[in-house]
Structure 1
């Protein structure tokens, strides 16, 4: 038996950077961000104090849905 065959080389250990828990947290945060955005545009944005200035475009776009969901707007 030769020395070359007897030598073993250590194997590299792979460590996953994105684990299942990290992926779940990212999905949860993205979902919460989208949910807060939807809630703002449908339930809170009144046009006069809008993030986008004095434009009533977003308010009017969601107007009927806002009344259907029970949010007061005027």
Structure 2
């Protein structure tokens, strides 16, 4: 899927989920939808009607790999 396709992604059927580690206190959380073909969508749980970031599956895997390796730790 090319970048043009990602920017026009239809998120109407997205099944959003957030980490069980986020708790129920309304904290700063993101939600991820992985059920859409060819894309991974990410949004701010405090603003569910706001914009979402959309990634190709390979981009998302690379990001998660970096998180697991601590690449984003300060």
Relative to the length of structure 2, the TM-score reads: 0.22
Q: Considering fraction of residues, name the structure with more strand.
A: 2
Which is higher, the Rg of structure 1 or of structure 2? 1
Which protein, 1 or 2, shows the higher relative CO under an 8 Å CA cutoff with sep ≥ 6?
A: 2
